[in-house]
Amino acid sequence: MDKKSISDLEQKISAEKGIHTDFKNDMTYGEYLGLDAILSSQKRLSEHHDEMLFLIIHQVSELWMKLIIHELQAAITTIQQGNMQPAFKMLARVSKIQHQIIQAWDVLATMTPAEYLQFRDSLGKASGFQSYQYRLIEFALGYKSKHILKIYEKDQAILNELKQAYEAPSIYDVAIEALVKAGLEINPALINRDFSVVYSGDDSVAAAWKTVYENIDTYWDLYQLAEKLVDIEDALQQWRFRHMKTVERIIGFKIGTGGSSGVNYLRQVLDHRFFPELWDLRTTL
């Protein structure tokens, strides 16, 4: 920017007579956001330049995950209450957030294997595999694994939160309940089932969703709900794939810092489907 442009900009700013400049007794933008705490939480354990990238990518992703959990839990409640429209807005927001997190892998992938090796040992046994917020998202979507809870025994508050989510109905469980409320015939055993058991599919649910898709005008809300769920699973699988390829690009097939098989584990979870009937009906319609 040349001197004239800078001068013009300064004149425009000075012409804004209403801009507040005295904050001795008022809350500032930074105070509202808690920026002192947020921006001072990047504590590198090495002197390597790229550890800052590694920290920020994962911290930002955790913030986005916090918002995903906030939206998913609210959507589950509103669907249970039969109030679909707010849930659609929440689920659409989740999909947009997911795409932000997916793109974060592109930034992390600018780090080379040689650069990561310079500080990898500083992580010890810490790993993204231990992200309790990611587990809360999986639980909210219906993918539950009891043995994973042992990782969180160090923090009782986190463990209690995970146990509650582990036993609670997922968003697909409440979607199936919505099918029942709409008068569609569903296997009664599904309504009061043990929600800690991973749902694997049911013929009655498949038939119900097929009816919805064949009678869109009659079941418009359920149709919209189904497509919102497909959007979320689609984006989650894209996230998982980008995660796997970024890990492979940076550490190859090494064991993860948390002890997982790394790329091989990430490939396995790609095979899991959260909402199986919603994908199968693409073939059966």
Q: Is 99 annotated as a binding residue?
A: no
Q: Is 87 helix (H, G, I), strand (E, B) or coil?
A: helix
Tell me how far apart the alpha carbons of residues 152 and 150 are, in angstroms, rounded to a whole number. 5
Contact yes or no for 162/136 (Cβ under 8 A): yes
The owner of tokens 């590198």 is 44
C-beta of residue 52 within 8 angstroms of C-beta of residue 107: no
Nearest alpha-carbon partner for 105 in 64, 151, 152: 64
Beta carbons of 28 and 20 less than 8 angstroms apart = no
218 is annotated as contributing to ligand binding = no
Phi-psi region of 214 (alpha: psi -120 to 50; beta: other; left: phi over 0): alpha
CA distance 159 to 123: 22
Q: How far apart are CA 238 and CA 188, in angstroms?
A: 34
Q: Is 116 annotated as a binding-site member?
A: yes
Question: For residues 240 and 198, is the Cβ–Cβ distance under 8 A?
Answer: no
Are 142 and 198 in contact by the 8 Å Cβ rule? The answer is: yes
3-state secondary structure of 268: helix
Flag whether 21 is marked binding. no
Q: CA nearest 143: which of 231, 242, 247, 269?
A: 269
CA distance linking residue 146 with residue 278, whole number of Å: 25
Annotated binding-site residues for substrate read 116, 120, 257
Annotated binding-site residues for heme read 243
Annotated binding-site residues read 116, 120, 243, 257
